[in-house]
Structure 1
Amino acid sequence: MELLSASLEKKAEKFQKEIEVSLAGEQLRLRLHNAKQIRNRINNMFTYPSSFTAKDVVTWLIDYKEAPDRETAVNIMQKFMEHNIIHHVCDQHSTFKDSKLLYRFRNDDGTLSPTTETRLMTRSKRIYEMMTSQEDSILKVREEGSKRYRRTFLGSQMLDWLIKHALVTGRLEGETLCRGMLEQGIIQPVNGHYHFSDSNRVYQFCINFRRRRKLIEVLNESNPWLEPMQESPDSPFCLRKLGAELPQGSFVCAGDPKPEPPPLPKRPSTMGSEFGYSLYSPPKPVASLPSVLKKPVTLEELLAPGAPYIKKTLSINGDAVGWGFIVRGTGPCHIQAVDPTGPAAAAGVKIRQFILSVNEIDCLDLEYRAIYNHIVAGPRKLILEVLEPID
């Protein structure tokens, strides 16, 4: 079994960081388009398509809690400039300035030259999206030693899957592709310093392409490659669309609504936990925030004869980002927030509904982490039984 050299691991760490910055930049671009911050602008009689004003975006980053102050916001945007993700519309400035200067994303004006690395990242992203969208995905939670790892697969299993879906012509081509993914830090062995091989060795996607990035992460230079990446239990869900801007919330990253009407979180989350995202460090608890429930409700009250609740069965087809709702509680659990543009809202999920079952698994007396485990273990199509209060 070929071992990875220290230099190869160092290169993988560098590539991994670049990919994360690239993904964060693309998510920001979509969000700014949705917020109408990116549009055709006129300056000195010239029209600059798909451009944005630096000063306005700095304010936007602060308003949406992506940066605590203007200096940090500028540093975030400067990082995107250094990674060739944005540039001044006339390329007259090599730095990002908190002014009325116009900038553009290279993905918007066609000046981003694809490289071998970016093509491999795009291909890897497609593979990841295909795998995570399947009901019987080969990506599993597996134990190695005393640790549990997410998004894992066997080397031979990956090659079988690539051939089955006609993404490679044979095992040799598939192995070459996976070795390239490993050398870019997209996948990694969960135990040891081994290269990819057509074997029963366990590997994992160490980049979660669906996770919505917290932009301040791009300023964090640390990136301990080959360590199991720790995520909040919220990560697969997200309060949905990358381009859907939601009113300000109160969590550090995961947000939380007020009782009436509930504004939705800025950061992605769907398990209503009190954890935020952190790519390079474990999730940290933040202060508890008020529940949307008008008063605490016990299990006995819910199940009492004549209780003012109606039972509903809802079918939610998750999209590429998640299902679009937040759950909170220790049993019974309730819907804490719903993205109005997400799949959950379209299916009839509402705040204050109590969760009876997930995919026919009784969840009434479970806390939100256990419900999370049932959801991520199931198919993309989610069958949710709820008790809805009768107003």
Structure 2
Amino acid sequence: MLGKETDKTNGSSYDIYTVGEHIRSRMHQTNLIKDRRYRLRKYKQCFVGRDAIDWLVRMCHAQSRGEAVMSLRILQEYGMLRHVTDDHVVKDQTLFYRFSRDDDSYLLHSDLTAFYRGLDVFNKIKDSSIRREFYHRGHLYQDAFYGNDLVDCLTARDDTVERADVIAHCRELLEFDIIRHVTDDYHFSDDRLMYQFHVDYERPCLLSDVLNQPSPSDTDAAHHTAARTSTSIRQASSSVDHPDTLVGSEGSSVDTHSMLGHSPNDSANANHAGTTISGNDNDRGDRDDGSLSLMAEKENIGDVQVSMVKRVVKLQQDEVGYGFVLRGAGPCYVHTVDPLGPAAAAGLKEGQYVLAVAGETVRQHDHRHVGRLVMTHTGLLTLVVLAKTIPDH
């Protein structure tokens, strides 16, 4: 492509932006987004987290409240929405949130800015005759337009804008992969060359579609990426929670680069001796024969007499997180346990497979999905893990 080299996740980013904008538009139509007041302060164009989740589940944009929370947090990670005072991740609580489109904070993100500039252009020409089917040299190009026709249309709609500025903006859209030349051979020019929108602003979508996209922090080294749970928003000890704002309480996120929620050398490590934890409640547990063959295949231990047992592990989150790293896919497993964290104190061990999180079966999901599920919980977290034991001979 002739455009500049942008982030490799741009394609998936635009898919997520499209979903987020669709949800924002629908929420405006249903009056979920409006000006609200709290303690004599007005918060413009915001929505209540719990009300939004009610609506998303009711409209089948998510299968459960937890899935709705996870999906909205992905939009938050991509800069599409935020807490009105930037104190919280998305929670199923009475908290105020606002889409970045509604307060112009999207301008802080170059890709998101290009996405919305492209949307503005698309809305101006989508019903125009310049966007139509072209049959050229044996190829049919749908919803295409000539470069000079686009410039004519945009300058005609705004007498104050210079033609050179419109051309520059259109070239920027091509560089950000919002529009493309139909054969990807030319940059944008004020000429009889055909272009199409590469971003499908009108595609049907559900909020849960964002769960199938990579995290914005994923890199080319994603094959060894680890998901951990940690707090991304520190607790403000001086703040007082209120049902309308709950300013200052903690949240959690998935960090796909950091390995641990704790560091053994961190002078701020908490003393976990006094926390309420119950590790290995069912120390021997029930044998999970249905998963034995899968685990044996994954671990190449078919030639060793192995006993797989379920264990229930209860972890009490501290100010940093739960202190463990997940990797793998279907089922994921505990890759690393911080020796000073809640996971170690609760008896979680490296190599154990995660079967359930807070009562929800996750054995078919990868570490990203499970990590996002974990981050929807705060405080006490119950895991069901499958551990292998080799009997003494």
TM-score relative to the length of structure 1: 0.45
Mark the structure with the bigger radius of gyration. 2
TM-score relative to the length of structure 2: 0.44
